[in-house]
Amino acid sequence: MSKKINFLQSDEVRFLFERRMLTTKEAAFYLGLSVITVRRKAGKGVFPSYRPNEGKLYFEISDLDDYLLSKRRSSTEKAKEVASMLNFKISKKWKI
């Protein structure tokens, strides 16, 4: 665990998160995905990418954050609440 803390405190990692644009490799690290997966998702338009002068792919951190936040999952309590409401609507409609 101490290695993880030391890694997160390194200047390189802090610099990475302070910038607006990331390379494909940096975006993969930021998202916790492989480089290939990031390239595929960018190609499919899952999140925007920029390729100035037909060079490297770059990703804006705010776009990556939007992607991460869109993958939010409900808690089990919220899922149970939604399921119980659906069951109530079905039972009321079918008079069960």
The CATH architecture assigned to 2-94 reads Orthogonal Bundle (1.10)
Cα 88 from Cα 81, distance rounded (Å): 11
Domain ranges of the chain: 2-94
Note the pLDDT tens digit of each residue in 1-51.
Answer: 445 545 555 665 555 556 688 999 999 999 999 999 999 999 999 989 988
Cα 86 from Cα 9, distance rounded (Å): 47
Note the pLDDT tens digit of each residue in 50-71.
Answer: 888 778 889 999 999 888 888 7
Is the whole model's pTM more than 0.75, yes or no?
no
Q: How many CB atoms lie within 10 A of CB 49?
A: 19
Q: List, as own/partner pairs, every contact residues 28-37 make where C-beta atoms lie below 8 angstroms and the sequence separation is at least 24, other chains included.
A: 30/61, 30/64, 31/64, 31/67, 31/68
Cα 64 from Cα 83, distance rounded (Å): 31
